[in-house]
């Protein structure tokens, strides 16, 4: 294990860098958590038709389109505020304003107006996501990326707990307006960390952001990128993703009500995911990429087969809680290592675009795997699909362990930033805006 280099003059310490990244990742999906678990639930309870609720859920897909404007975030930035710091200051502020604006409208009588506002919020949130990923990629040293991506993996669980759980409780106690203002306040948590960050001091030895069509086209020109994104990520996560997405449908089939599922799966599972993501990140930093990939992949295989008792009808509360905890721990841990290796392959000069392409591929894989699993379960039943997912997960892990040498550099943790291509690196003084 390597030791982190001391901060550059005027730069942040290791603790400061990790704190900034953690704050960004733990607040970036709060609006999505609130929309999915709170707003749609509240609107349905207030009389909005279920068909309209289902159609409205598709607005969240705007978050997956961020790759379309990620190059804009890499290309344009502020000299005075800092390239990605300027984007983060803008988007964090707009997110808070947008969330506070939700309080001005009623979720039942002004449902469509709120949908438009949520669409705008999601575009801003996606832009913040691109800037946060780029900042983390350039800011974190290789030995810090495991923990940083552990917080990223845990961040989605934080969004569910806070945006979908805590804020929903606030709504029940104090009403819609206070709940929306509470969400806005939570969104502001990361802003003080961004204000304290001096981007230029921390990134003096990193190539200036530089994105062109040629740079974008070279992304898949690197063999390691192709192997990792198109072969190994699918092999590593597809089987487990199938089983993970079947837990809630199985509980619904067995007669569990929505409130109980929310308590066990959303709240209990998400809290486990928060802890598992952070612990997995520390584990990656301690033992390295290759061993972590093996052991965390083994946890996925165990969690995949672990959902089998529920498929067989064993729905004792303690067992369901154990299965949910194991599944969420495996999910958070697996994506911590996936994001870490993806960050290793990201080019500093096009960090936002590169990492966004990795996460877009991962998101599409999750949608395809989850949807395919549900469709197959509807035809063949839960038990055969989970058994098949377990076998697929084990075979996938074998493929990844056998081929990971095609992706990882042996000395990747001995360099500040690993880049998969020899893209041009312009000096700081020649940066153009």
Question: Does residue 429 lie within any of the structural domains?
Answer: no
* CA separation, residue 228 to residues 14, 68, 157, 342, 415 (Å): 28, 21, 25, 8, 20
| In the predicted structure, residue 192 carries a pLDDT above the cut 90 | yes
Percent of the chain with pLDDT over 70: 91
Question: Does residue 431 lie within any of the structural domains?
Answer: no
Q: Quick count: other Cβ atoms within 10 Å of Cβ 255?
A: 8
Low-confidence winner among 285-289, 299-303, 396-400, 427-431 (lowest mean pLDDT): 427-431
pLDDT of residue 11: 62
**Among 171, 189, 209, which residue terminates a domain?**
209
42 alpha carbon, distance to own chain's centre = 25
Percent of the chain with pLDDT over 90: 44
175 alpha carbon, distance to own chain's centre = 29
For residues 103 and 148, membership in a common domain is answered with yes
For residues 70 and 127, membership in a common domain is answered with yes
| In the predicted structure, residue 353 carries a pLDDT above the cut 50 | yes
| In the predicted structure, residue 214 carries a pLDDT above the cut 50 | yes
For residues 199 and 230, membership in a common domain is answered with no
For residues 167 and 304, membership in a common domain is answered with no
For residues 282 and 349, membership in a common domain is answered with yes
d(CA 299, CA 285): 18
For residues 202 and 265, membership in a common domain is answered with no
Q: What is the DSSP letter of 191?
A: H
Most confident segment among 265-269, 329-333, 427-431: 329-333
d(CA 372, CA 211): 36
Predicted confidence band at 341 (pLDDT cuts at 50, 70, 90)?
A: very high
Tally of structural domains, the chain? 2
**Contact indicator for 250, 314 with CB cutoff of 8 Å:** no
| In the predicted structure, residue 27 carries a pLDDT above the cut 90 | no
pLDDT of residue 159: 81
Question: Does residue 5 lie within any of the structural domains?
Answer: no
**Among 209, 231, 259, which residue terminates a domain?**
209
Going by C-alpha positions, the residue among 276, 279, 303 that lies closest to residue 390 is 303
Angle (CA) 209 215 216, round 5°: 105
| In the predicted structure, residue 392 carries a pLDDT above the cut 90 | yes
Going by C-alpha positions, the residue among 340, 239, 362 that lies closest to residue 292 is 340
Domain containing 84: what range? 10-209
For residues 247 and 204, membership in a common domain is answered with no
Question: Does residue 428 lie within any of the structural domains?
Answer: no
**Among 189, 209, 229, which residue terminates a domain?**
209
CATH number of the domain that 321 lies in? Answer: 1.20.1250.20
- The string of pLDDT tens digits covering residues 239-292 is 999 998 888 888 888 888 767 877 788 788 888 888 999 899 999 988 999 999
Tokens of 277: 């993501």
| In the predicted structure, residue 419 carries a pLDDT above the cut 60 | no
pTM: 0.82
Query: What is the overall mean pLDDT for the chain?
Result: 85
- The string of pLDDT tens digits covering residues 98-139 is 999 999 999 989 999 999 999 999 999 999 999 999 999 998
For residues 25 and 153, membership in a common domain is answered with yes
**Contact indicator for 42, 176 with CB cutoff of 8 Å:** yes
For residues 132 and 234, membership in a common domain is answered with no
For residues 388 and 360, membership in a common domain is answered with yes
d(CA 15, CA 147): 11
Question: Does residue 113 lie within any of the structural domains?
Answer: yes
Conformational region of residue 292, where left means phi above 0, alpha means psi within -120 to 50, and beta covers everything else = alpha
């Amino acid at each position: 294990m390597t030791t982190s280099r001391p901060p550059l003059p005027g730069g942040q310490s290791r603790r400061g860098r990790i704190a900034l990244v953690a704050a960004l990742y733990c607040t970036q999906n709060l609006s999505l958590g609130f929309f999915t678990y709170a707003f749609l639930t509240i609107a349905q309870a207030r009389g909005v038709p279920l068909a309209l609720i289902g159609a409205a859920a598709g607005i969240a897909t705007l978050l997956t389109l961020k790759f379309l404007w990620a190059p804009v975030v890499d290309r344009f930035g502020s000299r005075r505020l800092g390239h990605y710091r300027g984007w983060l200051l803008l988007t964090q502020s707009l997110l808070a304003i947008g969330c506070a604006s939700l309080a001005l409208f009623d979720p039942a009588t002004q449902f469509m107006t709120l949908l438009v506002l949520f669409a705008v919020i999601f575009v801003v949130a996606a832009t913040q996501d691109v800037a946060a990923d780029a900042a983390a990629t350039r800011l974190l040293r290789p030995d810090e990326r495991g923990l940083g991506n552990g917080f990223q993996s845990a961040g989605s669980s934080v969004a569910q707990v806070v945006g979908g759980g805590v804020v929903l409780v606030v709504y029940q106690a104090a009403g819609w307006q206070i709940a929306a203002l509470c969400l806005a306040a939570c969104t502001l948590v990361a802003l003080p960390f961004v204000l304290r960050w001096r981007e230029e001091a921390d990134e003096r030895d990193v190539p200036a952001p530089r994105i062109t069509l040629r740079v974008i086209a070279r992304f898949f020109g690197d063999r390691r990128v192709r192997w990792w994104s198109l072969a190994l990520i699918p092999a590593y996560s597809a089987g487990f993703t199938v089983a993970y997405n079947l837990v809630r449908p199985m509980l619904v089939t067995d007669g569990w009500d929505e409130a109980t599922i929310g308590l066990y799966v959303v709240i209990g599972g998400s809290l486990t995911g928060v802890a598992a993501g952070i612990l997995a990140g520390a584990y990656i930093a301690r033992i390295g990429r290759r061993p972590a990939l093996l052991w965390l992949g083994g946890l996925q295989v165990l969690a995949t087969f672990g959902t089998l008792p529920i498929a067989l009808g064993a729905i004792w509360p303690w067992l369901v809680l154990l299965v949910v905890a194991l599944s969420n721990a495996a999910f958070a841990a697996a994506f911590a290592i996936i994001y870490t290796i993806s960050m290793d392959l990201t080019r500093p000069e096009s960090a936002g675009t590169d990492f966004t392409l990795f996460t877009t591929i991962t998101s599409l894989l999750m949608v395809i795997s989850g949807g395919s699993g549900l469709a197959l379960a509807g035809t063949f039943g839960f038990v055969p699909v989970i058994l098949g997912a377990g076998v697929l997960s084990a075979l996938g892990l074998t493929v990844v362990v056998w081929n990971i040498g095609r992706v990882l550099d042996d000395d990747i943790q001995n360099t500040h930033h690993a880049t998969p291509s020899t893209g041009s690196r312009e000096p700081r003084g020649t940066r153009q805006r």
